[in-house]
Structure 1
Amino acid sequence: MSATDILLCGLLGLTIASVWLGCLATLRLPAALDRLHAVSFVNIAGGGGLTLACFVADGVSVRSMKVLGLTLLLVVAGAALSHATGRALLIREGRKA
């Protein structure tokens, strides 16, 4: 195995571990807003790790730039959805958003 393969396996393993950590946190956290933070963490950690792994595997290529664009799109969409969900949770609890 080359150094690139070891780095790639490490990045993918770290990505999988962080996504599992976020999933377990979603199950364990008591409040809905806390669970929302864990879901946002999964979005960032999963997308970021996968994008880094793609750049390690391919370098700067058309495919890795597409993955970067998709990751940025998912991060922006995830942030907007988390914000809307957080506001809806606060309104449901009767607090002013």
Structure 2
Amino acid sequence: MVAGKVKKPGKRGRKPAKIDLKAKLERSRQSARECRARKKLRYQYLEELVSSKERAICALREELEMGKIPSEIKALLTGDEQKTPQSGSSTKTSKNSKNISNNGQV
């Protein structure tokens, strides 16, 4: 007796349903067919994705060979991005130095 309830002897849980073996096998086969179909579609999608990316890469390589390089890419390739001034950090330091000098004068 647990918490005022009487335990019934026997198995717990769902009772096994009397499923026809042929129906069960057919459901399993259908599930396998659907799985193979999904797998085939997934592989087709991935192959199309890879081929489109390869075409894009080839087009970009041709542009590079012909000399049509955008200025942003040229800057990255030559390392000119380090020469550009970093406005964010310089403005912060100049504001801080002004605040310090103003605080000293008050």
The TM-score by the shorter chain falls in which range?
A: 0.3 to 0.5
Higher relative CO (Cα under 8 Å, sequence separation at least 6) belongs to 1
Larger Rg: 2
Whichever structure has more helix as a proportion of its residues is 1
TM-score (normalised: structure 2): 0.31
